[in-house]
């Protein structure tokens, strides 16, 4: 039974990762943010931990700022997810087009 469950989980994971292999970069970014948006309601415990850590780190900030920071953090995680899975497709031309060096 665990072999079947593991295989089904593998297929689910491949289904989420496969679009990163075929879609253009901007669409991959949107897709990564969409995945994180779908996971956001399921991560209540992690959001509480983040809020508690932010309250300790920034005691002078109000709850509105903390809630906004948590939301921006989750959106950024979507971008990181997209960059991580899109990474093997990045070439020198991609970096020349999308990155700015000082």
Residue 28's domain comprises 2-98
Q: What is the pLDDT of residue 100?
A: 84
Cβ atoms of 82 and 32 closer than 8 Å = yes
pLDDT of residue 12: 93
Q: What is the C-alpha separation between 40 and 35, in angstroms, rounded?
A: 9
Which residue numbers in the chain have pLDDT < 70? none
What pLDDT is attached to residue 5? Answer: 94
Number of domains the chain contains: 1
**In this predicted structure, what is the pLDDT of residue 1?**
74
- Would you give the DSSP letter of residue 23? S
pLDDT attached to residue 102: 75
Predicted pLDDT of residue 87: 85
At residue 53, the pLDDT reads 96
Dihedral angle, C-alpha 48, 54, 56, 58, nearest 10 °:
-150
pLDDT of residue 89: 86
> How many CB atoms are closer than 10 A to CB 44?
9
* pLDDT given for residue 92 in this prediction: 87
């Amino acid at each position: 039974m665990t072999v079947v469950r593991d295989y089904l989980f593998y297929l689910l994971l491949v289904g989420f990762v496969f679009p990163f292999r075929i879609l253009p970069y901007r669409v991959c970014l949107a897709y990564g943010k969409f995945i994180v948006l779908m996971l956001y309601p399921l991560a209540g415990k992690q959001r509480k931990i983040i809020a508690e850590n932010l309250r300790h780190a920034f005691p002078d900030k109000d709850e509105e700022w903390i809630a906004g920071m948590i939301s921006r953090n989750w959106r950024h995680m979507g971008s990181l997810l997209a960059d991580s899975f899109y990474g093997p497709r990045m070439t020198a031309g991609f970096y020349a087009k999308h990155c700015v060096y000082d």
